[in-house]
Structure 1
């Protein structure tokens, strides 16, 4: 699964439960876009909502038909448009 993917091994190490998620997230002060796929089997939906709750000035977009890595090619344009629109708001 994802743990064997060399591109994200470092992220998995960062995501260990050795810290207080609420405390860490409350230190984030910049505008933050949170994308979460409805079909994500690695990160439960409620965790995406916790990120939204804990990070001030954040926006959560949930994408139907998308998995953790957004591998559904039919969803790539949708994801790109969300990201592009979000950047236009802030930069």
Structure 2
């Protein structure tokens, strides 16, 4: 199979296909805050800033306990499902 000859005959005609000036490099350490000048209007959607919610210590504790309770409920569903599978398999193998 013959190799094609590489040519650099491309010319830039100045047309903009997609404006990439607002695209930033993604962070390797997680989501970084959006940097914007103060006179720029707020954006809606994925890049929009969320308002900070000030929580008291009691509210933070209840929030953490609620998250732990949700995780406990999900883990109990998994344990019950695996236990049911073990019981079914024991019933099949011992009969």
Q: Which has the higher contact order (CA 8 A, sep 6+)?
A: 1
- Greater Rg by CA: 2
- Could you state the TM-score of these two structures normalised by the residue count of structure 1? 0.23
Richer in helix (by share): 1
Richer in strand (by share): 1
- Could you state the TM-score of these two structures normalised by the residue count of structure 2? 0.22
